[in-house]
Amino acid sequence: MARKILAAGNWKMNKTASEAASFIKELAESVKGAKNEVLICVPFTNLETAVKLTEGTNISVGAENMDYHDSGAYTGEVSADMLLDLGVKYVVIGHSERREYYNETDKTVNAKVLKAIEKGITPVLCCGESLEQREDNITFEWVRMQIKIALKGLSAEDVKKVVIAYEPIWAIGTGKTATNEQADEVCADIRACLREVYGDDVADNTRILYGGSVNAGNAAELFAMNDIDGGLVGGASLKVADFTTIANA
């Protein structure tokens, strides 16, 4: 089965709800009929606006994080049911910025992936090595470990519902993109790991994105690589023209 390319934007902590509204109206016009599947992951405060304004368009909406508890005394957190009630379909889990600044661990990432799948939200599971780990030649082992822990407890059928995003930390927001080969070889190794643990069907049907300074100029080459099924895009997803090019790459 062919894996459909996914162009996923990650807005991070950018755009107020009113800025989001005008941006999304423009984007919806611009990506109408785009070649790739289009997803925007936006701050919690923009979700309601984003879901409403994308109704009837080819744009899906995701959150950038969620908690793994169902409800209760977790001040400042947002649950899967809260996202579902708004009509949110995707959630980014384990982004390196959350791991670095907000103590996200492989264990909490796993709990969140399990909760998202249980509730029917598609997790965009992030993994990736630091520059030091790359220089120490432990990229493959590190990423495999992150993936194995994050997916622990899921059935093979459920693993296929996860979108994996390989994002080398040294390439995020730095303008330093991994080469096509560097990006593809890690995505290929993630697929090999899925094949070993879950079998051919899961390996062949799970989407693996690359993220790290994807832009309008490099997306087409990256997405053409064998094991790269699209991109998780930060900076360039904040510009309608650039993200439109990526949505057609």
Binding site for ligand PEP (CB under 6 A): 10, 12, 167, 172-173, 211-214, 232-235
64, 104, 129, 167: which one is catalytic? 167
For the bound state, the minimum distance from the C-beta of residue 233 to ligand PEP, rounded and expressed in Å, comes to 5
95, 97, 104, 129: which one is catalytic? 95
- Burial track 56-70 (b if 16+ CB lie within 10 A, e otherwise): eeebbbbbbbbbbee
For the bound state, the minimum distance from the C-beta of residue 39 to ligand PEP, rounded and expressed in Å, comes to 12
Residues 6+ apart with CB under 8 A from 157: none
For the bound state, the minimum distance from the C-beta of residue 214 to ligand PEP, rounded and expressed in Å, comes to 5
For the bound state, the minimum distance from the C-beta of residue 96 to ligand PEP, rounded and expressed in Å, comes to 8
Residues 6+ apart with CB under 8 A from 171: 177, 178, 211, 212, 213
Residue nearest to ligand PEP (CB): 234
DSSP 8-state symbol, 18 = H
Do residues 117 and 32 make contact, with C-beta atoms less than 8 angstroms apart?
no
Whether 95 is catalytic: yes
Which of 142, 156 has the CB closer to ligand PEP? 142
Which of 41, 202 has the CB closer to ligand PEP? 41
Which of 64, 79 has the CB closer to ligand PEP? 64
CA distance 40 to 57: 12
Whether 69 is catalytic: no
Q: Name the H helices within the chain.
A: 17-30, 44-54, 80-86, 96-101, 106-119, 131-135, 139-151, 156-159, 180-198, 200-205, 219-223, 240-247
Which of 128, 203 has the CB closer to ligand PEP? 128
Name the residues annotated as catalytic: 95, 167
